[in-house]
Structure 1
Amino acid sequence: MLLAGCAGTDADSASSPSGTPAQDVVATPSEEVTPADDASSPVPALDLAEFRSESVQCVVRDEGLECQLQVEPTYTIPDKYLEFGVPCQSVYLTPTATEGELGCAGDVISESVGFTDALPVGTVVTHGGFTCTLLEVGAACANEVGGEVEITADAYRLAR
């Protein structure tokens, strides 16, 4: 016996465009339907303490988050940082701060982060109360109390 319009299990037909009308899901204004197999669904955030892209490396530790540019910045460095003599291409944010800091450390932020796979632009990473989005060149991060930092080759931002 051949049944037209039926294929596979209930799970298969629920996500199949050829499902029978009895299996179709209709959303009403009071409910939200999120298709699990929809290609346009957002990708879940990755939980990583160390991560990088081609242009930035970030590390989350108990004392806070640090993101360091791996490209030469073109923004103007404030005079008060010029005495350090190294490029100021890091931003720091602690878990409870509403404003970050510009950093001028000349060292590597982690010995192991450089060995991690470079993540693509647009990747969202969350760990230890911080959420970061990798940008075309740089990263934008926030903590749970509303503090935000962003660093790109063109600019840095230490608060909202």
Structure 2
Amino acid sequence: MKQSNNRPRPAKFWPVLGFATLAGMRSMSAPAFLSHYLSRQPHAGLDGSPLRFIQKPATATILKAVAAGEMVADKMPFMPNRIAPEVVLGRLVSGALVGAAWYRSRHGSALAGGLLGGLVAVASTIVSYALRTGISEKSGAPVALVGVGEDALVLASGAALLRAQQPAHGEWRPM
């Protein structure tokens, strides 16, 4: 029988579900939240990885600005629906990025994290689209107004997700 070591394993699966769900709702929010977290608590698992850029403070700043711009642009009438193929692809890539970076930061497989993140982001894209349009149709509220509520949900959920993350003992390193 395999003997277990008592060292806690860093959480990989559940946080990726959270970040990727955000990616399906607002594609740039997930990388912005993850980069914000990792820029303050860099993880040795990303050392030497092509994904290490995500834990740089400059990356976090840029991603936050892009995420804020996305929230504004989302309300514009000329923006395509989130279920348009090119938009779904962007959300898939965003989910894959956060999944790969999170898994790798926890010394896991970037490929496994990327696959999980991408799949969850696509599912979240479809579900959040259906919810947003359904709420708008049932309530008579403009889709853009429902989008403002969705923005609030994304921001609150992202903040809660970050608060829930505690670095596993020995997993992070100071800058």
Judging by fraction of residues, say which structure has more helix: 2
Is the shorter-chain TM-score for this pair beyond 0.5, marking a shared fold?
no
TM-score by length of 2: 0.25
Bigger Rg, structure 1 or 2 = 1
TM-score by length of 1: 0.27
